[in-house]
Amino acid sequence: MNHTHIASFNVGEATQLGEAPSIAPTAVIRDCRFGRYTEVGDQARLADSLLDDYSYLDRGCDIMSADIGKFSNIASMVRINPGFHPMERPTLHHFTYRRAKYGMAPEDDAAFFEWRRRQRVTIGHDTWIGHGAVIMPGVSIGNGAVIGSNAVVTKDVPAYAIAAGAPARAIRQRFPTSIAAAIESTAWWNWDHATLTERMDDFCDLRRFLAKHAA
């Protein structure tokens, strides 16, 4: 049987990151702040959020009212801070707060949207949020934590924990407590670009990294 070999199609050029954020043409951004060496993938939506240095969002992420630390690795189709509907009202429908859309009032319910914005999500430095995970409003995820694919995170996740499931629960810690504390004590995510480059080999060997840089 003959097969057609396609070496590449619509691959595009490799992205060189720098001081300015790299944002895909199909991404939608509203009222956000970006650090250096940041990247936002195709079809991502980001509103009222911070994406700090070296962090990236893959394709199709939808993020609202979140503070994302440095070196955060966010896989495709992740949802962070999906909007709540008002369960305490007689109706769940959004005509009660998106009033202008339905021609029911000249303006929307500003107090409701301000309440939503206060339910911010905080994601620490050097985190990994797996494909399709959902981080619910008000959740805090600690430095170095891992969130499994398709997890639904409804409660805070400690630093260096691995959490998975729906609802998510901590499965185990990445390192013993003393090692996690030693890594965190270096605050390496605050090192400048030249220092990170110089110490690249140290990042590939835990023992060497701790021996050279931990307090």
**Catalytic residue numbers, as ranges:** 85
Dist. CA 147–CA 203, nearest whole Å? 21
Enter the tokens of residue 28. 């939608």
Cβ-contact 134, 153 below 8 angstroms: yes
Cis, bond preceding 167 (omega within 30 deg of 0): yes
Q: Find tokens 């840089």 and name the residue.
A: 213
Nearest alpha-carbon partner for 87 in 115, 67, 65: 115
Cα 14 from Cα 173, distance rounded (Å): 34
